[in-house]
């Protein structure tokens, strides 16, 4: 395991707790420290304000509340993030279409690859390709 990853803190913003727990397990296996999960924009913004977030996985629709304000805050701070959603890229507002998007249901290996690439290369929002399909997260 790459020791550099152990110090990285990834925030999970997800309203479906089973998905959040599966993401937590995946991040733990990769050696990341998990912040959250946050189930709302308010909770996510509080985690960001507390500091120490190195990257994030953001569900777009949080029980009817869109996570775009969280994405805006992260982008303003230069913190890379990946959207996760069942929405297609075309359904996103224009301002967010270039952001990294993992389509649900997603393959945990692809989530892992996207996070490792984003953290290792210092990529910022909008610089990762769309990733999706494959094996469902719920197996």
Query: Residue 105: is the preceding peptide bond cis (ω within 30°)?
Result: yes
H-assigned helices in the chain? 3-6, 17-30, 41-50, 68-76, 108-121
Where do the structural domains in the chain lie, given as residue ranges? 3-131
- Give per-residue pLDDT as tens, 35-68: 999 999 999 999 999 999 999 999 999 999 999 9
**What pTM was estimated for this model as a whole?**
0.80
CATH of 3-131, one of 3.50.50.60, 3.40.50.300, 3.40.50.2300, 3.90.180.10: 3.40.50.2300
| Rounded to 5°, angle at Cα 71 from 33 and 134 | 70
- Give per-residue pLDDT as tens, 58-109: 999 999 999 999 999 999 999 999 999 888 888 889 998 888 888 888 788 8
């Amino acid at each position: 395991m790459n020791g550099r990853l152990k110090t990285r803190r990834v925030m999970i913003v997800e309203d479906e707790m089973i998905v959040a727990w599966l993401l937590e397990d995946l991040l733990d296996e990769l050696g990341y420290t998990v912040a959250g999960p946050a189930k709302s924009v308010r909770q996510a913004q509080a985690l960001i304000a507390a500091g120490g977030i190195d990257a994030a996985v953001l569900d777009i629709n949080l029980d009817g509340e869109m996570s775009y304000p969280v994405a805006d805050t992260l982008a303003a701070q230069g913190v890379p993030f990946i959207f996760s959603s069942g929405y297609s890229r075309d359904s996103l507002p224009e301002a967010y279409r270039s952001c990294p998007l993992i389509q649900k249901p997603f393959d945990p290996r692809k989530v892992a690859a996207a996070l490792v690439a984003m953290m290792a290369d210092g990529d910022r929002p909008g610089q990762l390709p769309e990733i999706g399909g494959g094996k469902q997260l719920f197996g």
